[in-house]
Structure 1
């Protein structure tokens, strides 16, 4: 494939820029990534410097090699969401406030009574909290000077840096908390609620629309000048597109710093209890129902570090315990709140039932079971109004057969693995691909975990878990 034309998929993730070079026939030619730092000096703070993203992008693209980059014919973009970038003229402020930042949560909770929440959900399809761009900007506005002329999400900033165009797509616009789902544009009413002028917002364009790569940027990246760069889409949408296309009936579970649970529907089906996000997909008339567990990957690394283990040891240790972790229950709300099916910023992690007889293996299993029980809550909600025919799993858990089997037993459904480490970058590349390759998607693994005899045991354990932790949720309100 050395001399094949390639499409670059770029995912501006939470901790790294990931690049995939995909041939126009659909094969993966090369993958790279480059990390960047996160600032957490203050309570609840989670900020990054957009300049670090650009440095990581240049490193990741050049690592693909000249033989790859010289044959690039298009670039597709996706990225973390929602993360707030403020521009003064063409220059970003050095602190981008990421979706992990919880400082606006309490203020947003006090600002949004139930009638406002319902109005905003009806209008946007989003259960708005302090981690959307509008409340973030409103809360932090006093720390900015008056020179802010544009607010962008992280992926939109990357598109601006590459092309000079201020644009977003519908799926990313949804993360601003200002996008009218039915009107398919910014809502002046919502802008007024948050005190944000629509003049600060980028133009909303289709995900597959493209602008040319700027000459100076192309030279630094070793890419052809004028290369088409798509506006792209949210990382959740890009991952789901790679894993399942636009098919209904498939739930895609992507584990990264957070865990994203998403399916696709040919209609904008809102939830009467506002338990999921309804986001525009890459194509008109298709919508994704999305539920996000905030800190599963982050807490996985935390537990590894706490126990002094290397990456992946949690899954190995958990497999040595048994279903139910010998009576331990672990609520994995370690981000200082949770979304998923619960949407409560006051939730905290709990390890319940611990005795001196328990081992680190039991703690590891209880943690993984807790994450998967929260996934089960989400999948059950999606299944209330739409038949779920299959489940596809991407992320580190897809590499551990025992963890895959645990999920199949907890969900009571077969689970297929999607083994590529960056489905979001692949989805971005597919979106930017020529029409001949546009409908392709990377195949899932032929090995599928099928529910075993432990399914019945897990039904009982799951009911005990749900009986325990909603009570904690209510007490925290």
Structure 2
């Protein structure tokens, strides 16, 4: 590990900051992480975080990297790439961020956003932005939370953009992250003046836009002190965590869909043409590489639903998987609609949806309920892939998250999808994708996903079960 071809990637996620270092071949040689808390707002609602906690976590995660590599190897880091949760709002004041940051989990601006979108026309906004705008985008968040404090604000940034600002002093975003501001024009690839006026936003508050792999600037002295790395290292502008994950897991390859399972589940494929969905069921976002786009669908409460069931039944993830796999295909007649986050996106886009368990009887066991939940999540993933398949059908799937670590669950997903499913190895795919965009010349791509699980005989049984699930939980009328 000599020379300056080591790449450091930082992913500022929803609950923790993950760091990875790639060697010149693209292999992961060190990882680090540090978590932070999410709090409700002063009104007891919402989901807020402290930007200072993100910076503390960045320092701790990179300290873990330095301890693993040692001084000599750490000196070989030639550049830093960034990725981050989207959209999460940071308002900058004269002396730094005006805490707290309002995360993408916060729905308090939904009412305002709904009124503006209805007046402007949701379909028209979708054609203009590629997004299904709601109160979790930065412009409506800012108007709701900071509209009365315009005089205090010097700029607005998403979470990843704030991390870039803290490391380099430059206020800059990339197209994939800019899409989360709700004022980015997909066709023009720039801030849209009409959308800026729609949300009553001062354009002077917006950062400049540059390609995700462009150099935002050198690591300045404060960034050097924070990370314990030499000042002057080039830092990339970075990308949204969803497209950074897709870059790592599937590369820029049409026909490969990536499924990233964290607090929510992101389903995304890569396409060369900006093709919008006639029904607006997926969002179309600029990719981490120029000239490419990601068709993205998000299931809101899959990982949080998994964790909730673990707490409810007082079991760990391994026990959850073992009992679910021991239950029969079809969960002995139990079905579970996994809409546990107060509505759903995915292919449904219905904020009124709630979770439901159907078919319970006294004969059922805990494992039947756990399997039914997993089958419900997998049926929703299949529903999303079917929507993407109307224009371009995925030929294979790569999965990251808790399912990827279990051969049994991976095989179950292959059966439900009737597609080969490959696991992504342990390191955070968004952090790896961030490292791939680090400004280091001559570096190789990341290592490939693992061997695919192929559909088994159980796949045939899931055809009828999936059709029954769709009849019980149909597409919402639009």
State whether structure 2 residue 171 is matched by structure 1 residue 162: no
CA distance in 1, matches of 2:28, 2:432: 9
- Measured in 2, the distance between the counterparts of 1:263 and 1:296 equals 19
* Cα drift, residue 142 of structure 1: 4.6
Kept in 1, the 8 Å contact 2:236–2:439? The answer is: no
Which secondary structure does the structure 2 equivalent of 1:251 belong to? strand
- Correspondence for 2:279 among 268, 273, 279: 273
For 1:3 and 1:196, locate their aligned partners in 2 and report how far apart those are by CA, in whole Å.
46
Q: What does 1:49-448 align with in structure 2 at a 5 Å threshold?
A: 49-65=50-66, 66-67=70-71, 68-113=73-118, 116-142=121-147, 144=149, 146-210=151-215, 211-438=217-444, 440-446=445-451, 448=452
Whether contact under 8 Å (2:7, 2:79) holds in the other structure is yes
Q: Matches of 2:390 and 2:265 in 1, distance apart?
A: 21
Q: Tell me, which stretches of 5 or more residues in structure 1 are unaligned?
A: none
| SS class of match (1:449) | coil
> What is the CA–CA distance in structure 1 between the aligned matches of 2:154 and 2:39, rounded to whole Å?
24
Q: Paired residue for 1:34? A: 34
SS at match of 1:432: coil
How far, CA to CA, are the matches of 1:435 and 1:272 in structure 2? 41
- Partner Cα distance (1:280, 1:84) in 2: 20
Change beyond 3 A, Cα 1:43–1:303: farther
- Please give the per-residue CA displacement for 1:31-81, whole angstroms capped at 9, x wherever unaligned: 010000110365651110101000111111111124243321100000000
Counterpart for residue 49 of structure 2: 48
- Normalised by the length of structure 1, the TM-score is 0.95
1:50–1:220 CA distance, 2 compared to 1 (3 A)? closer
Structure 2 gaps of 5+ residues are none
Which segment is superposed worse, 13-22 or 1-10? Answer: 1-10
Superposed displacement of residue 433, structure 1: 4.8
Of the three residues 466, 470, 474, the one matched with 1:466 is 470
Between the aligned partners of 1:258 and 1:73, the Cα distance in structure 2 is 33
Tell me the TM-score normalized by structure 2. 0.95
Tell which deviates more after alignment, 104-113 or 80-89: 104-113
CA displacement at 1:161 relative to structure 2: 0.4
- Kept in 1: contact 2:4–2:78 (CA 8 A): no
Partner deviation per Cα, 1:311-335 (whole Å, 9 max, x = no partner) = 3322211101011111111111111
